[in-house]
Structure 1
Amino acid sequence: MSRYPKRVVPSLPHSVYPADWMKEGEVRAAETLGLTLYHLMERAGRAAFNRCRQYYPLVRRWLVLCGHGNNGGDGYVVARLARAAGIHVTLMAVDAGARPLPPEASQAREAWLRAGGEIAVAGPALPQEAGLIIDGLLGIGLKSAPRAPYDTLIEAINRHPAPVMALDIPSGLDADTGYAAGSVVRATHTQTFIGLKPGHLTGQARDWVGCLHCDALGLETWLAGEPVPMSRWDRSDVSRWLSARRPCSHKGENGRLLLIGGDHGMAGAIRMAAEASLRSGAGLVRVLTHNEHIGPLLTARPELMAQELTATTLRASLEWADVIVIGPGLGQDVWGQKALELTRQSNKMALWDADALNLLAQKPDVRQNRILTPHPGEAARLLKSSVAQVERDRPAAVRELQRRYGGVVVLKGAGTLIAGEDGISVADVGNPGMGSGGMGDVLSGIIGGLLAQKLPAYGAACAGVVVHGAAADRVAEKNGERGMIATDLLPEISLLVNP
């Protein structure tokens, strides 16, 4: 079995809930619907049991590992149902019987014992004959690195050859951030309950979660009436933002986009951004760059308009444009600084990327008519912090960036986050093949092209990130992830913006 199981995205809900909200929410839901929390635990255990049977119908030996909390209670329910189905179950619990369990978990434990089940003390020597491991050690409340004996148990699970079904979240992973402070169970599947949590989708989640599944436990109607703290988008959502064009539409209606960048040796960045904006549907695209880049740029893509970047051409182009993209290949020397200072004087809608962000970090301002698209390194400079601090809590980082700089902020990475006054979203698209140069330039071009077509800033950012990641996923489906380059995405973009 691969160390990193192939990521599959089943049908998942669009709503994402922080751990504290989920804990409080399940209590309110139970009260509203006349259920007990133990009833919900029974539903959760059955959902996980059914998922195990779905994927591992022939495995007859299961190992269930239970911790001190309600996550362990879910494990007791799974074990009882598996035993009743004739499966040989070994249940190992941390300090079995030595520490009081929460009331619902205690009920589940007693039900397991009444059914004839036995409890062994969990230790690092796991039975090697087990064909499936159920991880019920630590749940969504964990906020620090797992301590003994959990850390050694987690490492033992990861050494075991059997596939792993994690209950709610892989033990050791922070449910709100996807941060791994210490040992984390590397799950093959994760069955979560009621709703998705941010830590399933961003941060380091993809290294640990495996194939993610969600069961609302019959609370769908109740959830529909609740506010949505965070939204999840995937490729099926593109039509939410993009509809068919009016039959008589023309290039002027589809927007005039100006791209500024391409310092010496950086012509590729501005060219990829410009072509991506055309592929996303912008009507007219003008590039201002160094004179030496114009010939190669027009030879490669004659549909572009290109001029040398001077103060005169920039002022005229700023007046001409509906939307501005600045930053791809801009550099941070005097040429780039002067271009950015003149661009600051415009009140047109703009996207700032790459070195425009690095220059912004040196001279901060707040604007509502702007999209920022930092990767974690650029985000750290904008926040005057470190990459490690940004990655420790990506949702907090993107919210703080939006608060400090205004507008809309796209924090790139596995599980890209989008924050604006309209809310916060996570893009459930993309793959490791995107870890190569130029991908951010393509994203800037896509979002800029959608802005030019008069999408609102938050919608353009969400749609652009989804199209970008989905294009990479389509390339990976055809050719694999390793060896993917940014320009591979360009033919896929025009297919995705026509849902």
Structure 2
Amino acid sequence: MHIVTAAEMYEIDRDTIEQIGISADSLMENAGQSLFHVLRERIPRSARVAVLAGTGNNGGDGFVVARMLKSYGYDADLWLIPPKEKIKGAAKTALEVYERSGYDWKPYAGNEQAFATHILQYDVIIDALLGIGIKGEVRPPYKEIIELVNRSRAIVYAIDIPSGTPADGGEAEKAVRADVTITIQCPKLGAYTFPTADYYGELLLIDIGIPPLAVKRNAAPRFVWKEDDVVRTLPKRKRSSHKGTHGKLLVVGGSRAMTGAITLTAKAALRSGAGLLTMAVPDDIYSVVANRVPEAMYYPCPARDGAFSGAMDVSALDIDAIAIGPGLGRTDGVRELVSNIVQKPVPLVIDADALFFWNEYAALIHERKAATVVTPHPGEMARMLNLSIRDIEGDRFGTSKRLAMEYGIYVVLKGPYTIVTTPDGSQYVNTTGNPALAKGGSGDVLTGMVSAFLMQHHSVQEAISNAVWVHGKTADMLVERSHSQWDVLAGDLIEAIPAVLSYVQEKQRGDMG
């Protein structure tokens, strides 16, 4: 499922109309019918419904929805916000069809006081005010109308995007706070970036018959990674496999002040299917961590002041991938260690404190032939790119793409709607997870999962995206079954990995059946 910018959506529509030959009138009718069928399943017949329609395609979709609601006997009022003469194109046709069907509408202009009274009496409000073309501040009368909508107790359904939110994300000075947003054909960037995503409520998608070719040739490769994708791509184990088949992982991390991080990473990697795992730790903490993961092997390394003293020799180790970062600390010895490890010719996952020294070893990344994965949170990403956290959060897609393509690496920008970006700039958004993940140790768990999956998938992108999805799904399952969003620990996530993997395997068996 493509995620598009406003400009891309306009080009998709233009291509569909001008090159493929599906008329604007047909697309609008398809949109309205599809919207109605979703709304019909959710709105009780007893509800009083208001459809608030502006100009443009958003208003036109509202005209079709209002017509269908009335045709099916709903108590629905259509409020036309602009003067009728401002309605043009396909929206004008949709309004004429509505009128010829024998239905009337209520003008907002000249009836502002009546509108202010009535809007508080509806059970459901359908927001068809402003579409993806809005730029800058919301102007009157829409500003006042949005305030009234947000003050009402009605359930609010937004068509395509909540009115007043920028389609590409960013600050929303005045916008509808929807309970449900029914987006048309392709979700927009603003649905997956904050603060705009907070206005969407539940996000639903409808297909209005735009051919995939029109989307593919007008939109950047930017996708939602869905459950179906995980079910399709998670590897199935062969009966002939053995522990070496599923990868030999070296996890490098830990320090006197942070002995837990590497333990979480190691346990998560083993729970995620890694065949053999070695934990490289400073010898100062070997006795502390040695009994925590009995399934792992250990490689104690020279220490200084409770952290790695410098470069380590891994030439004698038989390894297929390395994960470095959890609990390392930020000493000079760690600086040398990370610069040494990035030169090893195996797939590498770099996280946490290992990212602190990014600018000192970044030039070496260009020379790597094996896959390199970095997993920063916004603060780490800001340091890597010499930007502010605000800059990162304001352009999560753009900054991720810039870093991935500049260094030829895979970037996992963590946070709500984690974005996985590949070296060619393709991007995959994860929608699992909840605020239970906002706790120390969650990132260490993800590092272990990504590392383990990396050794078991043929596609690096599929491995990373699947690990991110499973990581988020563990938090979702925990909250659904036994926990609140407050009390989930990183260790709980590890213990929930088996349930999620079993869930995916059941889906795979169901698909085969």
1:157-168 map, 5 Å: 157-168=149-160
1:437 Cα deviation after fit: 1.1
In the other structure, the counterpart of 2:300 is 308
Asked whether the equivalents of residues 59 and 132 of structure 1 are also in contact (C-alpha less than 8 Å), the reply is no
Moved more, 362-371 or 183-192: 362-371
TM-score normalised to structure 1 length: 0.89
Asked whether the equivalents of residues 238 and 497 of structure 1 are also in contact (C-alpha less than 8 Å), the reply is no
Q: Does 1:337 align with 2:340?
A: no
In the other structure, the counterpart of 1:433 is 436
In the other structure, the counterpart of 1:324 is 322
DSSP 3-state at the match of 1:232: strand
Assess, with a 3 A threshold, how the Cα gap between structure 1 residues 330 and 312 changes in structure 2: closer, same or farther: closer
In the other structure, the counterpart of 2:83 is 96
In the other structure, the counterpart of 1:420 is 422
Question: In the aligned structure 1, how far is the partner of 2:441 from the partner of 2:145?
Answer: 41
Question: In the aligned structure 2, how far is the partner of 1:134 from the partner of 1:344?
Answer: 54
CA RMSD of aligned residues (A): 2.6
1:466-485 map, 5 Å: 466-479=469-482, 480-485=484-489
1:38-53 map, 5 Å: 38-53=25-40
Asked whether the equivalents of residues 79 and 105 of structure 2 are also in contact (C-alpha less than 8 Å), the reply is no
Question: In the aligned structure 2, how far is the partner of 1:467 from the partner of 1:238?
Answer: 9
1:194-273 map, 5 Å: 194-204=185-195, 206-219=197-210, 229-273=221-265
DSSP 3-state at the match of 1:58: coil
Assess, with a 3 A threshold, how the Cα gap between structure 1 residues 143 and 297 changes in structure 2: closer, same or farther: farther
Question: In the aligned structure 2, how far is the partner of 1:266 from the partner of 1:135?
Answer: 51
Question: In the aligned structure 2, how far is the partner of 1:95 from the partner of 1:29?
Answer: 28
TM-score normalised to structure 2 length: 0.87
1:45 Cα deviation after fit: 1.6
> Where does structure 1 lack aligned partners over 5 or more consecutive residues?
1-13
Question: In the aligned structure 2, how far is the partner of 1:175 from the partner of 1:458?
Answer: 27
Assess, with a 3 A threshold, how the Cα gap between structure 1 residues 31 and 284 changes in structure 2: closer, same or farther: same
Q: Does 1:371 align with 2:373?
A: yes
| Cα shift readout 1:111-146 (whole Å, capped 9, x = no counterpart) | 444532222238683621100011112212335443
Question: In the aligned structure 2, how far is the partner of 1:318 from the partner of 1:51?
Answer: 61
DSSP 3-state at the match of 2:121: coil
Moved more, 395-404 or 82-91: 82-91
Asked whether the equivalents of residues 80 and 117 of structure 1 are also in contact (C-alpha less than 8 Å), the reply is no
Which structure ranks higher in relative contact order (CA pairs < 8 Å, sequence separation ≥ 6)? 1
Query: Equivalent pairs: percent with the same residue?
Result: 35
Question: In the aligned structure 1, how far is the partner of 2:310 from the partner of 2:390?
Answer: 42
1:223 Cα deviation after fit: 6.0
1:409 Cα deviation after fit: 0.6
Question: In the aligned structure 2, how far is the partner of 1:116 from the partner of 1:436?
Answer: 54
Moved more, 337-346 or 461-470: 337-346
In the other structure, the counterpart of 1:64 is 51
| Cα shift readout 1:323-365 (whole Å, capped 9, x = no counterpart) | 1111111222223212212213322210111121121045533
1:318 Cα deviation after fit: 7.7
The partner residue of 1:192 within 183, 187, 195 is 183
1:161 Cα deviation after fit: 0.9
AA in 1 matched with 2:403: L
In the other structure, the counterpart of 1:109 is 95
AA in 1 matched with 2:334: G
1:179 Cα deviation after fit: 3.1
AA in 2 matched with 1:166: A
DSSP 3-state at the match of 1:468: helix
Asked whether the equivalents of residues 310 and 337 of structure 2 are also in contact (C-alpha less than 8 Å), the reply is no
AA in 2 matched with 1:67: G
Displacement over 6 Å in runs of 4+: none
| Cα shift readout 1:217-270 (whole Å, capped 9, x = no counterpart) | 133566697687222113333233322212121112221111111222211111
In the other structure, the counterpart of 2:306 is none
> Where does structure 2 lack aligned partners over 5 or more consecutive residues?
303-308, 506-513
Assess, with a 3 A threshold, how the Cα gap between structure 1 residues 236 and 492 changes in structure 2: closer, same or farther: farther
